[in-house]
Structure 1
Amino acid sequence: MTLDVGQRLRAVRMEYKLSQRELAKRAGVTNSTISLIESNSTNPSVGALKRILDGVPIGLAEFFAFTPAAAKKIFYRADELTEIGKGGVSYRQVGETMVGRSLQIIMERYEIGADTGRIPLVHEGEEGAIVLGGRLEVTVGEERRILGPGDAYYFESRRPHRFRCVGQEPCILVSACTPPTF
C-alpha cells in the first residue's frame, strides 16, 4: 500500500488550522514547496519532511500514525466555514478538511490594500473565482486586470499569480481550486 504523504500533510495542516503560507513560514520553506508536496508533485526526503513537521509541531511517528477523519458533512452555515487565513486576507473554506476531496471552495475577503504577497503563488491545478464586492487586482504571469463585482477569473495555477485589494472597500469573492492547495 502506498502512503499518500501529500494528502496526509494537508490533513495534518488543516487539523492544526494552518494555511500553506503559515506552515511554510514556520518551517522555513517556500509556499510552493508545501503546495508541491500536498499535490504529490514531489516527495520530500525524511529530513525535509521532519523540518516541515517541526513547523506544526508534530513528530514523524505521530505524522505517520495520524488518521484523518473522513469528510461527511454536506451543508455548512456561514459560521461553520473554516478560517484558514491570517492577517489582511481571510480564507473561509467550505469543509474542515480537504482529505479525500478534489475541489476546494473558499469565501475570500481582502481588507483594503491587502494582498497575497510580493512573491507570486505557484501550484498545480486550476483555480477560478467570481468577485462579489470591491475591486481585486489579479496578476497572472505578465497579465494584470482589476476586477469588480460580477467579474471573474479562471487559469492554470502553475502560472505565477497574485491578488491585491484595490479601491476603498474590502474585496469579497468566492473561489475554487482543484486540487485543494491551501
Structure 2
Amino acid sequence: MVNTLNTDDFSKDVGLRLRAIREAHGYSQRELAKRAGVTNGFISQLEAAKINTSLSALKRVLDGIPIGLSEFFAYEPERQGKVFYAADELTEIGKGKISYRQVGNNLFGHDLQMLYEVYEPGADTGRVMLSHEGEEAGIVMEGHIEITVGDQRKVLGPGDAYMFKSTTPHRFKALRNKRCVVVSACTPPTF
C-alpha cells in the first residue's frame, strides 16, 4: 500500500474536508496547527491542495481535532443540517460479515448515533470485548444474537431489546443459522 496521497483531485478533496471539519469545530488554521503540532502554513497549504501529504501526516493533523481517518473520509459537508436520509445515504462503517450503516455522528454536532446493524450467520464482533464512552440500546428486528455485557450473557430474538453503559465491556455474536438485524443507538456517538 502506498502511503502518499498524490492525486490533485484527492488532495483537493482532503483540503475541502479538512477546512469544513476545522470550521465545524470552530478552530482557526492557527489553532488547529498548534493542537496538531504542525505549522500554520502546513494547514493552509493542505486546505488549499497546494501540497501532497502522507496518511501519517494527515492523521497527525486530525488528532488535533480529534477525529479518526475513517470519520474524516466519511464526512460529507453537504450533510450538515440534513434531516432526512434515504437508505443508500447511510454511511457504511462496518466490514466483512458485519455491516453497520450509520446516521448521526459527532462531526455534524449530533449527540446521538443510530446504526442499522446486519450480522451474517456466525458473525462476531471479536474475542476482545468492545468498550467506549456512552450508553447504547438496541432492538433486534430479525434473527437471534448473543450479547455479552460484562459477566451477563443472553440470546435475544425479534422484538427483544438491550440497554447498557458502553464502558462495560461488551460483545455481539449472531447465531450460526440465520442473519440478524439490529437497530441500535449510542449516545454520545462514540462507536
Choose between structure 1 and 2 for higher RCO, CA contacts under 8 A separated by at least 6 residues.
Answer: 1
SS of the aligned residue for 1:58 comes to helix
Partner of 2:143: 134
Give the greater-gyration-radius structure (CA).
Answer: 2
Hey, what's the Cα distance between the residues in 1 that align with 2:128 and 2:111?
26
Deviations 1:90-125 (A, max 9, x none): 000014x53111100000000000111100001111
Partner of 1:98: 106
Partner of 1:60: 60
Partner of 1:157: 166
- The RMSD of aligned alpha carbons is 3.0
Unaligned runs of 5+ in 2: 1-13, 18-34, 38-53
Partner of 1:41: none
Partner of 1:146: 155
Deviates more, 1:143-152 or 1:69-78: 69-78
Partner of 1:32: none
TM-score, normalization: structure 1? 0.64
Identity between Structure 1 and Structure 2 (%): 53
TM-score, normalization: structure 2? 0.61
Hey, what's the Cα distance between the residues in 1 that align with 2:164 and 2:145?
16
Structure with more helix by fraction: 2
CA contact (8 A) 1:127 1:156 kept: yes
- TM-fit CA distance, 1:59: 4.9
Matched letter for residue 58 of structure 2 = I
- TM-fit CA distance, 1:85: 0.6
Match of 2:98 among 89, 93, 112: 89
Hey, what's the Cα distance between the residues in 2 that align with 1:165 and 1:115?
6
CA contact (8 A) 1:135 1:166 kept: yes
